[in-house]
Chains A and B, each alone.
Chain A
Amino acid sequence: MNRHRSLYISIAVVVIGSIYILRLFQIQVLDDSYKNTAERISLRKQTIYPQRGLIFDRENKLVVFNEPVYDLMVSVPIRLGGIDTNSFCGVLDIDRPEFDTRLAKAKKSSYRGKAVFMKNVSNRLYARMQERLYEFKGLFFEIRRDRNYKYNSSAHVLGYLGEVSKNELGTQEDDYYEQGDYVGKKGIERYYEDELRGVKGEKYFYVDIHGVNKGSYKEGKLDIEAIDGHNLGLSIDIDLQQYGESLLNNKMGSVVAIEPKTGEVLALISSPFYNPANFNIQNRGSYYNRAIQDPTKPIFNRAVSAPYPPGSTFKPIMALIGLEDGAITPATHFGCPGYFRLGRRTIKCHPHPFSTSLERSIASSCNTYYCNTFKNMMQSDKYANTEEAYISWRSYLESFGLGNKLGVDISSEFRGWLKEPSFYDQMHGKGRWSYANIISLSFGQGELGLTPIQIANLAACIANRGYYYTPHVVRQIENVDAIPEEFRTKHFTKVSAKNFDAVIAGMLAVTQNGTGAGVAIKGINIGGKTGTVQNPHGKNHSAYMAFAPVEDPKIAIAVVVEEAGYGATWAAPIAHLMIEHYLQADSVTESSKMYLETRLKEANLIPLKYRSQRDTSLYGN
């Protein structure tokens, strides 16, 4: 009987062994879920961030480069137990409660996957931590690239990066961004985001229970190399830009300089400005709030966003429209008694000889001349009524790039103010308004708002005698044959080339014996037009528009200095110095020029009401 029992025991051994082998067959061969689970647990994908494209200036000087930022990450927050908390806190220079808060936060954001423990760790801390990282299993650094800058300059052109927002994440089409990624928020960083960002890479590897890398997956066959972003070449001349910034220091205003033949922006300044390095990822946190509280609005890009009435700088355009439309001829004279009578009221002019030609009207900035021109046009037989005439006038202006966004390659451009006729219908009643109601438009006041870049573009149109290219600040994109089509297309104005001669002659006269003659530059023929813009909120804005040299224009420029006074006092000399600097950079040796330069650089034209609240540290460091 007992021998049978031996057999039974043997059978039991074989049966149990077979059950186990079958069970193993089931979980190892038939069931795939364990394989997937194993990979989910121990396989990690790491994103390799590409180098963002570098940015160079017109002369190929490096302007913007990348600087690594280190985020201290914890691989698996719930498994961060095996470290010596005391020495870890010691290295990081935090106390225990802070450690606990940070870990709790990491756990909350991701239970099993990686989470941020400390963002933007300083270089010093990174170096110290890196040395001892082997002691702290499950912690690692994720390296991202922040921007840094060779020059404390051009902040408004360059813009800045920021973490991608929920909204941006939700609306993206190509699923490029993940939470925490950096994306261009302003300036060309935003406009050229697709060119600058490059292509992310991927790396697959196994991790252990603490999240420590245990070797690559399939010998790296699935890994993807990151491709760096395209470098950009600016049309900005960083030297001219910095020079202009020094002239605009302690002023509110803007300078835009354009190369008329190409539409390339040579300088684009909005003042007050800030140090772009203060607005990179690492620093913006501490500067941003101070910047928005500053009443001089240093973040606001006046050059493309601030609408100013052009004032008298508008007169050359009025002349061009009058000539083209037949309201005047180059020989037209209007008498100016010092005012323009409009029923019971008068529009004041300023002292100049009684009879005014077209040329002299520009040179001496005669209001009466343009009131008459505008009146002629608005009352012309060509048009059935004032509204029709106004629509025609408006369409001339649109052909000069006014009333709409120019389409520059910097974010937050404003289209300015150029009212539809319906605006006046609403104000005065349909058909119940005439030239008298809108007469101030003729000398650049009233319901008219031009951004500095639009004014500069007007100067470029005149310099080109009737066309412009959309102004742009990037002239080269690495590995791309050409800049976007829209910057290579000529836009013609509705004013024919022949009508420009008289106006240009007038603008030349401005700097020779007109309102801008006092700050003329020897050896350069500049066509200019001063403007003193009435400002209901304070002192007049000082404005100026110019191009040079008249015979072969290489630079067109607009300058606005807020609440500064006469155009000829501030805006004109700034424009002239910049023209000279750009055209013959080393000729400012004359003592009178030196004096002028010093006077401009040192003048503080910030209105008194703002001075105490200004935060000058934004420009520092």
Chain B
Amino acid sequence: MSQARLIQLEADILGKNNGYAAANRARFAKAGILALNLVSSPGSGKTTLLCRTLALLAGEFPCAVIEGDQQTSADADRIRATGAPAIQINTGKGCHLDGHMVGHAVDHLNPPDASVLFIENVGNLVCPAAFDLGEAHKVAILSVTEGEDKPLKYPDMFAAADLVLINKTDLLPHLDFDVDLAMANARKVNHRVRLLQVSARTGEGMAAWLDWIRGARLMALSGRPSQAAE
């Protein structure tokens, strides 16, 4: 005979994802891989920015890319054209990448030790905020063709990001976009966030972004247990 009973669970709803993310993070740390989770709305210029970044970093250290989209492999094709290895994850109906998908993609992609792994998340400022992939940093991209109030409208994402790139700054002369206001709004939700202005099209501001990546990569390398043991 079954009887009604109470199960005290206290289980984190996203605990399973967090477990996969922790395994990814441990793997990246062991290999000295810097993993960056790039998040933005659709159309912020993420893929163009990434292609430009890969072209500028070519020959400096190995880079690899995981591309997340609901459908098509168009973005991975664009990335591969730069010479960097890329793998496409199609989430189908899903609105975000999760730790499990990224773990599988890393198995297939097998990025070399001491490389930089860019994970381009599905264009969506809501759901990817909640799903840890095991990355070192979330980098949010906000283009100047969007509103200055985006950080306030999507506070979870901007609160989770360590760096915000304000992209398409070459268009500023044609727009009413107030960069200072956008930056102030980002700081309202995240007072520690770093902010950089870039134009993937003209290359303006890209040097500071590349320097940020270099710095983060050194941090990832210094945390590498195998190096400490050598």
Answer yes or no: do A and B interact.
no
Q: Which residues of B contact A (CB under 8 A)?
A: none
